[in-house]
Chain A
Amino acid sequence: MTRFTACLAVAATLGLCPLAATADELTTTVTNSYGVPGGLIDMPTAEMAPDGQLSATAFYFDGFGRSTLTFQITPWLSGSFRYSGTKDLTPQFSTYYDRSFDLKMRLLKEGTFTPAVAIGLQDFLGTGLLGAEYLVASKSFGDRLKVSGGFGWGRLGSRNNFDGFGTRDPFSFVGLGTGGDVDTSNWFRGDIGVFGGFTYDITDRLTFAAEYSSDGYDIEQAAGVIRRSSPYNFGLTYKLTPDANLRVYSLYGNEVGVSLSFGLNPKNMPIPGGTEQAPLPVAVRDPNGARDLGWSMQPNSRQALSEQLQDMLGKDQLDLVGLEVSGTTAHVAINNPTYDQPAQAIGRTARIMTRALPPSVETFRITFSDMGGMPSTTVSFQRSDLERLEHASAAQALAAASFDDSLRYGGLPTPVAERFPRFNWSIAPFTRVSLFDPDNPVRADVALRFQAQAELGNGWVADGGTSVKLFGNLDKTTQVSNSRLPRVRSDAAIYAREDGPRLDWLTLSKYHRLSPDVFARGTVGYLERMYAGASAEVLWRPVNSRLAIGGEVNYVQPRDFDGGFGLRSRRTVSGTIPEFNGHASVYYDFGNGFHGQLDAGRYLAGDWGATISLDREFENGWRIGAFATKTDVSAQDFGEGSFDKGIRITAPLSWLLGKPSRQAPTAVIRSLTRDGGQRLNVRGRLYDTVRSSRQTDIADSWGKFWR
């Protein structure tokens, strides 16, 4: 088929009269060979995944492998991160590994007579081996048939093409190793290819796909790793579950490929509302009892109340920290180690108070007091409102609650006897992972860690963790750091060499309230695996603000590689590690599920710059985001990747378990750790510590107040 007939064919198909088209917005959980939402094979479509969908796709055909993680950032924007390997592509490597990022944006939704239209950037950061841009339209006809066609540049403009605008620099292996800069000068330049295809649902589970590919696989053909004898690709998709698909392909006439994708949507909690035990019901007072103040005359009444509250709160896995009771007001300070939804901790405490406190007490105040007893936010209720609203919509109880910074009440209620010091410990296995080492893309150690924490009261917390490596291959890396900066992180492999028990951290911290809305933290000791020293931080976070501003200054000394108590010289082969680093940070909760953070300051290697992070946050605790750090280090000095960037995913255990838990491990996917743009990993930074106990987060979780 000549390029023009193909062009006409696509145009004709798109122009067909719609057959009872349904406007289902063309969403799909199927991903193509690049792991991007869409039912075709190597070619993109204008389809999107359901909002929030996270998918992992593994694709393989003879010597080509692509692993892709895709996130549907908004209903109209998807982002993908891919790690691809091609065997024997260049003599330099037996398998040429390459990272790439894609974005696909839907410009137009599908209408009754109009197609959905999307624009996409493929491999727009990085080395550009897969680099392409496209404009694609998709239309559904009836319930089963979807037709797509579009124009492609770069890789997607290498066949069936016509002259476009300007010229495009050809891909070259020269200059590899510093990729990572955004280079817009080639976007939508050069020849324009025409591609198209369709998918047809044979049954609810089985779908057929056929496409005309405008990708010539020129570099791969030149290297002799593929022979492209036909532009036509065919595929069969079998839906294993609504979120998992197995696909087999016939590719370019000679090849057979296969892909498997798994999806997960943070919005779809397995058991909404959770399966945790029921709260105690509100105890409604006898209307005649409210005036009786006789109890308050009795000695030991506070002690007795405190014991009773402690016991009842303990059964709900909450912790009484302080108590103040007068004739009509009770103020309870709690530590919440359990509930990831802060409103649930408040709701349970409030109900327990209705059961434990004498009838004359009408005003309830509940103060969040985590981190060794640092007061944060106080929530107040009238007891009669709780009695009245127990069976009403939670929104009414929210309207009846008031929120204040705890310092406006002159601090914490008197600490309860024997609350401090308290010791917590745990032993658990964990893994430490290193990604994207060209010799071995995934390396990991499995270790057993003992960690212990002593809450000493008054905001003092002592915290430590030691670990023993059980097995793993992190120490096997042969990559030698060629950093031209002080070796602040790139010696990670040397740290991994020692098998014996190592001290991961051992710190003493003091959390302190400087004034209403202002928090402070000081930490000294072995701050993290590689550094010891001292860290001081201040955070301004009003009780009901989306904005927070903070600052941090650190004094560091590098630790010995063996993970013991010793320190080593700050001098490294490529420079001296500065003693001081620090940042000013701005945090902003955009309120529509997006959260931004900007940190600017001096990094570990003494480089100055800024880190920008943007996360999509789900109210159930899932967070998916990306960050990038640019400092005054040149791309050459930085080394591979040009600047530090990565993706992070926080998965709340409560979502998976269907019961409350404040544990939410974060996985960070980033390039090989370099020395530029590295921050100190001090534990217990203020923002995340304080945030869950401020009004914004409490109100966002209010659905669980009565749960």
Chain B
Amino acid sequence: MTVTFTRVALLGCVAFLSACSNTQGDENVFTVGKSLYEQINTESASEPDPQAVAQVAQHALSNSDGPLAIYRLEKRKAVAVIRAIGDNGAHRTWASYGVSDRRSVSSRNGVLTSTRGLGNDLMSSDLSALLALVAGRKAGEARIEQRYLDGENQIVTIASDCVVTRGDRDHFATPGNPHLHVMRMAAACRQDMQTVNNSYLVTDSGSIVQSRHWAGPDMGYSTLQRLR
């Protein structure tokens, strides 16, 4: 069987002047072309259909257990229903529900701390001071750090000085708990070149159930919203 397959594959290579190999990582002019084509074509994403997202969310709620959330990258117009795939101390790592493609994001108390496989990834964050104020529903000042890779794979850190303010009380609904009391918190974070405005919804027990948090120069704002 293998021999026959190899032979057919070889014929294919020669006939179509395409290139092939038995090793996965091998690249050549053709795979390079294909890959570039894919890169260009994923950039023209259109606004996702909220109906479709709701359907996936519904499916996830009734067919799985464990934490679920909705993740949105505003600038890239991308939305995904995500499920927890691992916990490490205060950090939780999430992956898309029902998709085998391995992309993940991590959060700490409901706020994005890192991404993997999204391109221009947020490699890690130090949000301790900010999260202490937000979860405690206290106004104050906090310094945070977010780390990225530059074009030479070296770590670059973007530091922000955040001014945290308290907002109004509000309600937040999850499918399992339609009447959660929350407080709106805002953080205006000043960087070298700009100021970004993050916002959070915090329960009375200090859980952040929804966050709109700046993820990076390329990604812009990302929203993490608890489903379960």
Contacts and interface: CB of A to CB of B under 8 A. Distances in A.
Given A424-B23, A653-B32, A707 B124 contact: no
B95 A278 contact: yes
B110 to A, nearest CB: 15
Contact of A317 (B25, B35, B86): B25
A427 B39 contact: no
Contacts of B113: 391
A394 B123 contact: yes
A158 interface: no
A273 interface: yes
A703 B119 contact: no
A618 B114 contact: no
A-B CB proximity, top 8 nearest: A426-B21, A278-B116, A277-B102, A269-B151, A428-B19, A281-B86, A619-B152, A278-B104
Contacts, number: 162
B152 A273 contact: no
Contact of B85 (A266, A281, A394): A281
Given A270-B39, A426-B22, A392 B149 contact: no
16 contacts: A273-B120, A273-B121, A273-B123, A274-B119, A275-B39, A275-B119, A279-B116, A281-B85, A391-B91, A426-B28, A619-B152, A653-B32, A659-B35, A703-B153, A703-B154, A703-B155
B19 A273 contact: no
Given A271-B39, A428-B19, A657 B32 contact: yes
B13 interface: yes
Contacts of B114: 391
B119 A267 contact: no
Contact of B21 (A338, A427, A704, A706): A427
Nearest to A593: B152
Given A278-B95, A391-B124, A424 B21 contact: yes
A707 B35 contact: no
Contacts of B120: 271-273
Interface in B58-106: 85-89, 91, 93, 95, 101-104, 106
A282 B153 contact: no
A674 B153 CA distance: 40
Given A317-B24, A388-B89, 20 more contacts: A273-B148, A278-B103, A278-B104, A279-B116, A284-B87, A391-B88, A391-B108, A393-B124, A393-B126, A394-B123, A395-B155, A425-B21, A426-B21, A426-B22, A426-B23, A427-B14, A428-B26, A429-B17, A656-B36, A663-B27
Interface string A385-412: 0011011111100000000000000000
B27 to A, nearest CB: 5
A270 B89 CA distance: 34
Chain B: interface secondary structure? mixed
A660 interface: yes
B150 interface: yes
A337 B20 CA distance: 16
B20 A427 contact: yes
A254 to B, nearest CB: 44
Interface string A258-298: 00000001111111111111111111100000000000000
Contacts of B125: 391
A341 B25 CA distance: 14
A352 to B, nearest CB: 13
A448 B17 contact: yes
A390 to B, nearest CB: 5
Contacts of A662: 25
B137 interface: no
Contacts of A270: 39
Given A393-B155, A706-B124, A277 B117 contact: yes
A701 interface: yes
Interface in A639-686: 653, 656-663
B193 interface: no
Contact of A428 (B28, B88, B93, B103): B28
Interface of A: 265-284, 317, 337-338, 341, 387-388, 390-395, 423-429, 448, 470, 618-620, 653, 656-663, 701, 703-704, 706-707
A707 B116 contact: yes
Interface of B: 10, 13-14, 17, 19-29, 32, 35-36, 39, 85-89, 91, 93, 95, 101-104, 106, 108, 113-114, 116-121, 123-126, 145, 147-155, 157
Contacts of A276: 117
Chain A: interface secondary structure? loop
B86 A282 contact: yes
Nearest to A282: B88
A445 to B, nearest CB: 15
Given A272-B150, A390-B88, A391-B124, A661 B102 contact: no
B123 A703 contact: yes
Interface centre among B24, B116, B153 (most CB of A within 10 A): B153
Contacts of B26: 426, 428, 663
B86 A707 contact: no
Given A276-B117, A390-B88, A707-B123, A423 B22 contact: yes
B89 A267 contact: no
B42 to A, nearest CB: 9
A620 B13 contact: no
B119 A273 contact: yes
Contact of A657 (B36, B93, B155): B36
B35 to A, nearest CB: 5
A341 B153 contact: yes
A242 to B, nearest CB: 14
Contacts of A271: 39, 119-120
Contacts of A274: 119
Interface centre among B21, B23, B148 (most CB of A within 10 A): B23
A509 B178 CA distance: 69
A478 B157 CA distance: 58
Given A663-B26, A707-B149, A281 B119 contact: no
A267 B22 contact: no
B123 A706 contact: yes
Contacts of B35: 657-659
B14 to A, nearest CB: 7
A281 B104 contact: yes
Contacts of A704: 149, 153
A202 B36 CA distance: 35
Nearest to B114: A391
A207 B154 CA distance: 35
Given A278-B103, A427-B19, A268 B151 contact: yes
A678 to B, nearest CB: 29
A426 B114 CA distance: 37
Given A272-B150, A448-B14, A394 B124 contact: yes
Contacts of B85: 281
A271 B117 CA distance: 11
A357 to B, nearest CB: 16
Contacts of B36: 656-657
Nearest to A387: B88
Nearest to A656: B32
Contacts of A448: 14, 17
A278 B27 CA distance: 20
A338 B27 CA distance: 10
Contacts of B13: 427
A269 B13 CA distance: 31
Contacts of B91: 390-391
A311 B13 CA distance: 28
A431 to B, nearest CB: 10
Contact of A394 (B87, B119, B155): B155
A267 B150 CA distance: 8
A429 B31 CA distance: 12
B21 A428 contact: yes
A468 to B, nearest CB: 9
A699 to B, nearest CB: 11
B99 to A, nearest CB: 11
A376 B104 CA distance: 32
